[in-house]
Chains A and B, each alone.
Chain A
Amino acid sequence: MTRLRYLLILIALGVFAILPVFLSGNLLNAIIKMMISALFALAFTLAMGQAGMLSFGHAAYYGLGAFAAVHAMRFVEAGAFSFPTPLIPLAGAAVGFLFGLLFGWFATQRSGVYFSMVTLALAELLYTLAPTWNSLFGGESGISTIRGASWGISFGDDAHVYYLTLFWVTLATWCLWAFTRTPLGRLALALRDNEHRVRFLGFNTHMARTLIFALSCLFTGVAGALLAIATEAANYTAFSSKASADVVLQTFIGGAGTFFGPALGAASMTFFARVTSDLTRSWLLYQGLLFVLVMLFVPDGIGGLIAEHSKKVKKGGYKALVLPYLLCLVTGLLLLAGVVFLVESTHILLSDGYIAKTKSSGGAAVPFSFFGQDFNPRSWVTWSIPIGLLLAGAALMPAAMKVTGRAWLHATQSAPAQGETA
């Protein structure tokens, strides 16, 4: 099992290593962003998933890491000192760690919702302060810089940035993973479960939580620095509560209870945003729907779902699951198609261009085209399509859920017994 895992990791690394050969600049850029957000989520999970500290202000350390990197690069650019570009993430790490210690020392005096509120306040403080503080944060427009050449590499090419990011993300991920196996990493889990008891076992829990929080901020700072290197800029919006919330969302969609889940969640959500924002103006609506649905129906996230399957489904059990899952997929697609039809046609019908057209046509129905098809907005045939799709989906849903539930029992039946004997 573990050997299989190592093999998988090696294969994945190999694939990542040769990607730039096949991919264009734009896609490569998308993958860079995905890797960075994956690292951000992993670093966040160190505080949240492992030590139970729900930080609402992790964007603070992400932004600080980015600004640290930009300033370091500007110093190098100005010739103030020389520092190799590949090591710039260390600046982000240092600043992230220092501010993590400082802010964390305050925040960890509280726990639960109060901890979250302190972290939120600290991040919002930075967010509101940064645009007025020109010398440090470059005001509302932020600061930009350029990557210097070092070690004989120009860093002008996307592939160079890609490999730099890949290296740091891999290294940081390994560190984060190794950390979970150390005494402090195990202590983090105990703190998450029951901080009160840890105190009576001889541990200074305030110190422990501060340190763990700061370590999480360290890796967050690395992620921020990598972003700054990739974009050659940093802007105060990096501190926004939206950015803080994004990482929480991505982590939970990936599954905060697993190690790799958050990375998966972050990468896929970044990809989702990239793709859908090109396709539709309402992409945030779809994203919001996705968040709500995941929280309601997959509360343990993607990672949790995978872990559940690999733990519980018995040998050959997947066969029973294929058809029910297909049925679920069809149901989901029907509902999705209905929603997309309604949202996108509303977009078209309410757009200025369309309204102008109806005016000039003197009140006659103007067909609108959509997916290469013309539809008459005044005809019931048009609206029966989305409504039919939604009704069909809704009708299939109970059946799909029932069948899946039964198949799940089938696929896992012997699992509880196994658990008992283990």
Chain B
Amino acid sequence: MEYLVVSTLNGVVHGLLLFMVSAGLTLIFGMMGVLNFSHAWFYMLGAYIGFTCTRTIGFWPGIILAPLLVGALGVFVERYMLRRVHKYGHAHELLLTFGLAFIIEEVIKLFYGDFPVSYQMPSYMRFAAFTIFDTNYPFYRLFIGGVAGLIFVGLYLLLTRTRIGIIVRAATFRPTTVEALGHNLPVIFMGVFAAGAALAGLAGAVAGAFFPTSPNMATDFGTLVFVVTVVGGLGSVEGALIASLMIGLFISFSVGLNWALADLFGIVGLGPWAQAFGGILTLKLSTIANSMPFLLMLFILLVRPAGLMGDRQ
């Protein structure tokens, strides 16, 4: 029981964090179809901006400044870089943003060093929200969850209650038609890209104060954010939320479980044989927890390429 509750709580928070980081990519990759590899690096940048602000002007200004600055960077990247290479196709977008990721990471290392920095939340936020099975549950986790919830609601309303979502999606297929309808596409694309980047920046500033802020924090999310977007369904915010929660719960549960494929064979009496065979059959679920998201993504891509909540391919 304790295991169940604690794992669920951890999984949900981890999932919400994942959602926060990937939410922006749902706009950028999911809707605009831009393969922005540097998305997780935008997230890292947000964390370092937050860190710098706590050292100078305070935590809350940082929470506001991080999305603004990263969003501004997004404007620059879209306007002066991605737009130029868009006509050459996906590979060029990917490579450009890959180079960008290098640059962001190295500049951060240049100024902040190779090791984690101590980005801390304000002390008045450092208390236990409640205690469960003798474990204190930090308030800040609830805060992260709350911000993720706000992002979700905001995006959901933006995409369903305004016509932005429809316009952007139509624009990726029939740009000339949409332009003929009087929409200023370049500005809309720039705005959406900037919003996506800003969301990553916000996620960084919020999450960085709780999870370690280090030059490696982007690499950990680098491909995972794509998993979330693809599994959820390109451009679907609900899908991204569900996928994030699934992955978060999956990982937090499998970490504690020592099941192996060999146990399955045990059920039909082939246990000893499987144990002797070794290799992939005796790998514990806990040790392959990190592979799970990719297994999930593979499964989705092959069985239901539109993703959990996507309408059509």
The reply to whether B85 and A295 contact each other, CB–CB distance below 8 Å, is: yes
Q: Which residues of A contact B (CB under 8 A)?
A: 48, 54, 56, 106, 109-110, 112-114, 116-118, 120-122, 124-125, 128-129, 132-133, 135-136, 241, 245, 248-249, 252, 256, 282, 284-285, 287-292, 295-296, 299, 343, 346-347, 350
Query: How distant is the Cα of A121 from the Cα of B228 in the complex, in angstroms?
Result: 12
Among A116, A136, A292, point to the contact of B99 (Cβ < 8 A): A292
The reply to whether A282 and B302 contact each other, CB–CB distance below 8 Å, is: no
Count A/B pairs, Cβ under 8 Å: 127
With both chains docked as a complex, state the minimum distance between the C-beta of B268 and any C-beta of chain A, in angstroms.
24
Q: Which residues of B contact A (CB under 8 A)?
A: 33, 35, 37, 81, 84-85, 88, 90-92, 94-96, 98-103, 105-107, 109-111, 113, 222-223, 226-227, 230, 278-280, 283, 287-288, 290-291, 294-295, 297-298, 301-302, 305, 313
The reply to whether A249 and B305 contact each other, CB–CB distance below 8 Å, is: no
What are 25 A-B pairs at a CB distance below 8 A? A106-B298, A110-B301, A110-B302, A113-B33, A114-B313, A121-B301, A125-B294, A128-B291, A129-B283, A129-B291, A132-B287, A135-B279, A136-B279, A284-B105, A285-B110, A288-B103, A288-B106, A291-B98, A291-B102, A292-B96, A295-B85, A296-B84, A299-B92, A350-B110, A350-B113
The reply to whether A114 and B103 contact each other, CB–CB distance below 8 Å, is: no
The reply to whether B84 and A248 contact each other, CB–CB distance below 8 Å, is: no
Main secondary structure of the interface of B (DSSP, over half): helix
The reply to whether A121 and B294 contact each other, CB–CB distance below 8 Å, is: yes
The reply to whether A248 and B295 contact each other, CB–CB distance below 8 Å, is: no
Q: Enumerate chain B residues within 8 angstroms of A116, measured Cβ to Cβ.
A: 35, 90
Q: Enumerate chain A residues within 8 angstroms of B227, measured Cβ to Cβ.
A: 121
Query: How distant is the Cα of A291 from the Cα of B88 in the complex, in angstroms?
Result: 15
Q: Enumerate chain A residues within 8 angstroms of B85, measured Cβ to Cβ.
A: 295-296, 299
Query: How distant is the Cα of A53 from the Cα of B305 in the complex, in angstroms?
Result: 17
Query: How distant is the Cα of A140 from the Cα of B227 in the complex, in angstroms?
Result: 24
The 9 residue pairs across chains A and B that have the minimum distance between CB atoms: A288-B102, A291-B99, A285-B106, A288-B103, A292-B99, A132-B287, A128-B291, A128-B290, A295-B96
With both chains docked as a complex, state the minimum distance between the C-beta of A125 and any C-beta of chain B, in angstroms.
5
The reply to whether A113 and B35 contact each other, CB–CB distance below 8 Å, is: yes
Q: Enumerate chain A residues within 8 angstroms of B100, measured Cβ to Cβ.
A: 288, 292
B313 and chain A: residue at smallest CB distance: A114
The reply to whether B99 and A252 contact each other, CB–CB distance below 8 Å, is: no
The reply to whether B96 and A117 contact each other, CB–CB distance below 8 Å, is: no
Query: How distant is the Cα of A89 from the Cα of B103 in the complex, in angstroms?
Result: 36
The reply to whether B226 and A117 contact each other, CB–CB distance below 8 Å, is: yes
The reply to whether B301 and A114 contact each other, CB–CB distance below 8 Å, is: yes
Query: How distant is the Cα of A114 from the Cα of B310 in the complex, in angstroms?
Result: 14
Beyond contacts A110-B301, A133-B280, A287-B99: 14 other A-B pairs, Cβ-Cβ < 8 A, are: A54-B91, A114-B305, A116-B35, A118-B301, A121-B294, A121-B301, A129-B288, A245-B94, A248-B94, A252-B92, A285-B110, A291-B96, A292-B81, A295-B85
